[in-house]
Amino acid sequence: MNSKFSFLSLLLLVLVSAKISHANEPAEALARRAISDNVTESTRAIEELRSAGPAGLQALMVQYADEINRHIASPTRSSDEQWQRITTALDTVAQQKNSYLSGLYWHTDLDDAKKASRETGKPILSLRLLGRLTDELSCANSRFFRTVLYSNAEVSSVLRDRFVLHWESVRPVPIITIDFGDGRKLERTVTGNSIHYVLDSQARPLDALPGLYGPQAFLRGLTAAEALFKSLAGKSDEQRAFLMDKYHRERNDSIQLAWLADATKIGGKVPEGFRVETDNNGEALRIAPLAPTKMTTEATLLREMIGTGEALARITDEAAWRKIAQFHASDAVLDNRSIILIKRQNPKLSEKDLARLLERFQKSVALDTVRNEYMLHTKLYAWLWRHPDRNDIGKFNEKVYAELFRTPRSDPWLGLLPADVYMALDNSGVVSHR
């Protein structure tokens, strides 16, 4: 082992041990017991490390740094029994699958996250997903987050140092098994969307990033929301409301102008019935209707914010989206750690096939990024601007899943069992119903 690394590891372990003051034994001993083949012993150690918070996870990361680094350096190496126990302990303490690459600790109780936010002065990043972040088959968005975002070295560092992390399952994720009849089976999730909310210490939404974003675009979104969080510190309710309104309106305008600029590059024009407003220096401020309303009210402004996005969507077809995504390809570039996870999940791929898979996946991430930013994020800003439920994360998230993701809680089948489609099956193929 490198002597410098050994010293740093030892120092970190000493610091971590000091932080876990409520534990019955030092963090180093708990970390060793966490991978014991005695299930009772390991379970108790893992529970104590989990209750210690991020320091408990750090104790494991430091204790097994050599093993972690070996599996990072050789992602296709076989997993022995000890490594399985190490990753089980890490993921259970972190509450995230493949946490050996991210080192991120996630709260699963919002009250605990709020307390940590108050104590640290950091905003909360709250993930809402279908399924659980610890599961192999959580919804597709959340699986991609683990690869594209949480494993990314820069993103994970920002999340670890500047945010309190929390996740909550909205509902179970639907899973389908395809049996080919010859012993081969495919297991996949069918649908599901995820969203990251940036919350203040009272769990009031400040911003939201819907669906999958490329690493650099995700970081820009986090940085903007973090700046808003800091600007609200110590402000009165009236001052807070003013700053929130200003932020959401300006961010919405900025994204819509960027959307129009991208569309213009490929031959698009300002949507019919709209104009670009400029300041005295000719700088674009916003896209607005040609015929302004006689009376400006909150309702008319909200309609304008949403209506502008709908007008821009009408001039952006599938071919246009793909061209626009090319302008933002750099936002979707995967770093080495993300590629390491993909290699580990696909050990039989040749280098040529892996390169082709990565190229196609990064194009898909770039496409998702621009669509989510331009079409969904602008709508969220309109809702956050003045919606009556904008300070209630529970009610606001219900609106998001019902109206933005179109998977309302009232539909137990998540749109997969339409009443007006004939299946030629008894009971439409439903074999069980609770």
pLDDT of 417 reads: 84
Cα separations in angstroms, 248 against 260, 381, 406:
18, 5, 23
Same domain assignment for residues 73 and 30: yes
Q: SS3 for 169?
A: strand
Same domain assignment for residues 170 and 235: yes
| Eight-class DSSP state of 131 | S
Same domain assignment for residues 300 and 235: yes
Residue 428 lies in a domain: no
**Distance between CA 102 and CA 397 in Å, rounded?**
26
Q: Which domain, by its residues, includes 64? A: 1-94
Range list of H helices, 296-410: 298-314, 318-327, 336-345, 351-371, 378-386, 393-399
Residue labelled with tokens 């040529």:
352
> Nearest to residue 333, comparing CAs of 371, 361, 372?
361
β-strand pairing of 124-130 with 164-171: parallel
Residue 255 lies in a domain: yes
Give, for 276, the enclosing helix (H) or strand (E).
strand 274-278
* pTM score above 0.85: yes
Residue 430 lies in a domain: no
Cα separations in angstroms, 363 against 199, 326, 334, 352, 400:
30, 8, 11, 17, 26
Choose one of 65, 94, 123: the last residue of a domain. 94
Same domain assignment for residues 116 and 207: yes
Same domain assignment for residues 266 and 172: yes
Q: What are the b/e assignments for 167-201, b being 16+ CB within 10 Å?
A: bbbbeebbeeeeeeeeeeeeeebebbbbbbbbbbb
pLDDT of 296 reads: 60
Q: Are 368 and 211 in contact (CB under 8 A)?
A: yes
pLDDT of 433 reads: 61
Same domain assignment for residues 117 and 5: no
Q: Please give the structure tokens belonging to residue 269.
A: 């024009």
Cα separations in angstroms, 295 against 25, 276, 279, 385:
68, 20, 21, 19
Tell me how far apart the terminal alpha carbons of the chain are, to the nearest angstrom: 56
Range list of H helices, 2-80: 3-19, 27-33, 39-51, 54-63, 65-73
Give, for 254, the enclosing helix (H) or strand (E).
helix 237-265
Residue 419 lies in a domain: no
Residue 425 lies in a domain: no
Q: SS3 for 185?
A: strand
Residue 418 lies in a domain: no
Q: Are 198 and 206 in contact (CB under 8 A)?
A: yes
Cα separations in angstroms, 50 against 12, 94, 161, 282:
18, 7, 18, 55
Same domain assignment for residues 76 and 218: no
Read off φ and ψ for residue 177, nearest 5 degrees: -115, 125
The DSSP annotation for 284-303 comes to: EEEEEESS--SS--HHHHHH
Please state the domain count of the chain: 2
Choose one of 53, 70, 94: the last residue of a domain. 94
Same domain assignment for residues 106 and 6: no
Same domain assignment for residues 43 and 140: no
Strands annotated E in 76-228: 124-130, 164-171, 175-179, 185-189, 195-199, 205-210
> Nearest to residue 123, comparing CAs of 199, 53, 195, 196?
199
Residue 362 lies in a domain: yes
User: How far out from the chain centre does Cα 393 lie?
Assistant: 16
User: How far out from the chain centre does Cα 423 lie?
Assistant: 35
**Distance between CA 71 and CA 296 in Å, rounded?**
60
**Distance between CA 222 and CA 216 in Å, rounded?**
10
Choose one of 69, 94, 119: the last residue of a domain. 94
Same domain assignment for residues 100 and 90: no
Q: What is the pLDDT along the chain (434 residues), one digit of tens a residue?
A: 444 444 444 445 444 544 554 446 788 999 999 999 999 999 999 999 999 999 999 999 999 999 999 999 988 777 789 999 999 999 999 999 999 999 999 999 999 999 999 999 999 999 999 999 999 999 999 999 999 999 999 999 999 999 999 999 999 998 888 989 999 998 888 878 999 999 999 999 999 999 999 999 999 999 999 999 999 999 999 999 999 999 999 999 999 999 999 999 999 999 999 999 998 888 898 898 887 666 566 667 777 888 899 999 999 999 999 999 999 999 999 999 999 999 999 999 999 999 999 999 999 999 999 999 999 999 999 999 878 888 999 999 999 999 999 988 888 888 888 888 888 888 888 887 66
Same domain assignment for residues 332 and 348: yes
Residue labelled with tokens 């709908």:
310
Residue 390 lies in a domain: yes
pLDDT of 395 reads: 96
Same domain assignment for residues 58 and 39: yes
